[in-house]
Amino acid sequence: MTFPTLRQLLLSVVLLCGMHAASAQMQPMSEDELSNTHGQGIVTMTNTSLGGYDFSKVVLEADIALSANLRNMRLGEYTYSARNGGGADLDISLMQFGRSDGTEAQRLVQISNPYFEFVYKNAADGASREAIGMRFGFESISGDIGLQIKTLSGSMRVTGTAADGSALVLDSRNDALGGKRWDGACTSSCLSLSQLGGVTAGDASGGSRDFWVSLLKTGVQFPTAAGLPASDPAQAGVWLNWRDKLQALNTSGIAPPNLPKGR
Amino acid sequence: MRALLGVLMMAASSVWAMEPLSDSALSSVRGRDGVSFDLNGFAMSGDARVTYTTPTGSSLYAEKFAASRSDSLLPFSDPFRLDIVPGAPGLADVINIAFPVNANGEQRWQMAYDWGVGANGVVREQGSVVVKDMVLTGGGLQFTTPQINDGIAFGAALKLDIGQLALQPRGREDATEAMVLSGIHIGGADGGAWAIANVASQPAVINALNDASGPRLHIGIDWPDARYGSGQAPAGSIAVDNISFVSPGQPTVDLGSSRIGSIQIQYLDIKFRQ
């Protein structure tokens, strides 16, 4: 019986010493130190409301480098009587993240904070809550993205330079139907979708901040991203928004190659 | 008695015929064993809740998980299989988890859960996610040691069909209000399983990396390696036969089908912030 009691006594002493050491080392933080301390989660959430709709946003707090090729993308294949166009809201034959004919850095596209945002009406009432749709986007994207877009439903603006050095602009706001099932045709000194072989997203000040694709049953004005003007309202169906800091890669309509890096 | 002696002598002579294996012969000998597990008749439900809370106090929760699976016509005939298999030449052995072949799609999953978001002083119930007739056909997972760096290298191949995935904001019992995705198909562009990563030809890795901001959780898929494959990233595809919104007293909004014919992930590097 004596031995266990001795062990318990020794253990108590060790624990007391440990507690003393710990309490002696811990110091209260000053206000300045406290203000410099912050925690961050892998995922962040936001609940907002705007224009009679309720939004719940889930953001993955991550930095992503990507090389990928997407081909034959047709989203929202249904009949749209006002202008059926190619029969789909988005008809993108090629979307490639990165390029293999440039520098090592150009091989990859840098993406920050991908997110999903869900849209409801009457979100607080479980009996009348209504699903309006959702969107997927990136809070920042920078790099070279090869693009061949046949039909666009969305709000997109890209600046370019003609062979003679004059400035060109592709802007879906010039479409009479507001960018729904737009083939990108334009007249005068403008950049058409068929001339667009890709974009450089972002500039020296940072990435492009308004890339998102929505899926909606009715038109919705999404909340505005920090530092940006209000986005155009998204129309019903599949809708692509991308206007911030986009420069055309070329006006030939040819996307650069994006082959894998050999190992 | 003579017959018995004869048999014993023949057996003894056959023992004398045994020769020791050389090192090279020994190295080529492998046993075939492994573990299989069959979720025959599997079902679960309950009020369990999983909550992720950020340091700022916002939260994301999922609760009331329910899942069940229908079975193959021959019970226990098509299980998940776990084996240790040889790696590619020069690479470590691999833990391989092969999903059921499920060629006839008899193993079908039904699932549901509720979820919600707490942020900005409001907890918003988002309703239920209801999955009907989810069928995994082949595919599987691989785990091994990375060729470079620390962590776990893994591979994943997937062929997945879902009969219907519905976001039902008024709960799993009320399907009159929903965003419905019918006929979801994810797999290889060639119709087989989509090898999103492979431990030899295009390995994925999960580990912790240090950079200027400190240690970060890292998940990545490396460039395709021509030494162990074609040098090209396998192409996958995603298709949804129909997307629609249904609401009581409102016409159904039908957004038709959507698809991405080919997806090649050549390189992916995800670093989470801490």
Task: Convert the pLDDT of each residue in B114-162 to its tens digit.
Answer: 999 999 999 999 999 999 999 999 999 999 999 988 899 999 999 999 9
pLDDT at A14 over 80: no
Q: What letter does residue A259 receive in the DSSP assignment?
A: P
Chain B residue with Cα closest to A37: B55
Whether B262 and A71 lie within 8 Å, measured CB to CB: yes
pLDDT at B249 over 50: yes
CA distance B27 to chain A (A): 29
Per-residue pLDDT at A226? 84
SS3 of A201, please? strand
Q: Which two tokens stand for residue B230?
A: 């074609």
Task: Convert the pLDDT of each residue in A105-162 to its tens digit.
Answer: 999 999 999 999 999 999 999 999 999 999 999 999 999 999 999 999 999 999 999 8
Task: Convert the pLDDT of each residue in B51-91 to its tens digit.
Answer: 999 999 999 999 999 999 999 888 889 999 999 999 999 99
Whether A133 and B245 lie within 8 Å, measured CB to CB: yes
SS3 of A104, please? coil
Per-residue pLDDT at B220? 97
CB-nearest to A58 from B60, B120, B265 is B60
Element housing B16 (H / E): helix B2-16
Whether A45 and B60 lie within 8 Å, measured CB to CB: yes
Q: Are A209 and A244 in contact (CB under 8 A)?
A: yes
Q: Are B119 and B56 in contact (CB under 8 A)?
A: no
SS3 of A210, please? coil
Task: Write out chain B residues lying below 8 Å of A218, CB-based.
Answer: 253
Whether B269 and A64 lie within 8 Å, measured CB to CB: yes
Residue pairs spanning A and B at CB distance below 8 A: 189
CA distance B65 to chain A (A): 19
CA distance B38 to chain A (A): 34
Assign A4 a pLDDT band (cuts: 50, 70, 90). very low
The reply to whether B214 touches chain A by the CB within 8 Å rule is no
Give residue A201's identity as a one-letter amino acid code. Answer: A
Per-residue pLDDT at A22? 39
Using a 10 angstrom Cβ sphere, with 0-12 exposed, 13-18 middle and 19 or more buried, the burial of residue B124 is buried
Burial A162-200 (b: 16+ CB within 10 A, else e): eeeeeebebbbeebeebbbbbbbebeeebbebebbbbbb
CB-nearest to A131 from B125, B177, B256 is B177
Per-residue pLDDT at A8? 44
Per-residue pLDDT at A7? 41
Q: Is this prediction's ipTM beyond 0.90?
A: no
Task: Write out chain A residues lying below 8 Å of B264, CB-based.
Answer: 68-70
Whether A68 and B263 lie within 8 Å, measured CB to CB: yes
Where do the H-state alpha helices sit in chain A?
A: 2-25, 31-35
Per-residue pLDDT at A18? 39
Whether B268 and A64 lie within 8 Å, measured CB to CB: yes
Per-residue pLDDT at B243? 98
A227 or B189: which carries more pLDDT confidence?
Answer: B189
Q: pTM, whole model, 2 decimals?
A: 0.86
SS3 for A130-159 is EEEEEEEEEEEEEEEEEEEEEEECEEEEEE
Mean pLDDT of A155-180: 95
| DSSP string computed for A32-98 | HHHHT-----SEEEEEEEETTEEEEEEEE-EEEEEEEEEEEEEEEES--TT--TTSSSEEEEEEEES
The region of weakest confidence among A146-155, B18-27, B192-201 is B18-27
pLDDT at A5 over 60: no
Q: Are B96 and B195 in contact (CB under 8 A)?
A: no
Q: Please work out, in degrees rounded to the nearest 5, the angle formed at the alpha carbon of residue B187 by the alpha carbons of B184 and B193.
A: 145
CA distance A13 to chain B (A): 35
Task: Write out chain B residues lying below 8 Å of A41, CB-based.
Answer: 52-56, 58
Assign B31 a pLDDT band (cuts: 50, 70, 90). low
Whether A41 and B257 lie within 8 Å, measured CB to CB: no
Assign B27 a pLDDT band (cuts: 50, 70, 90). low
Instruction: Tell me the average pLDDT of chain A.
Output: 88
Task: Write out chain B residues lying below 8 Å of A65, CB-based.
Answer: 267-269
What is the distance in angstroms between the CA of the first residue and the CA of the last residue of chain A? 68
The reply to whether B212 touches chain A by the CB within 8 Å rule is no
Mean pLDDT of A183-211: 95
What residues 184-213 of chain A have any CB closer than 8 A to a CB of chain B?
none
Per-residue pLDDT at A187? 82
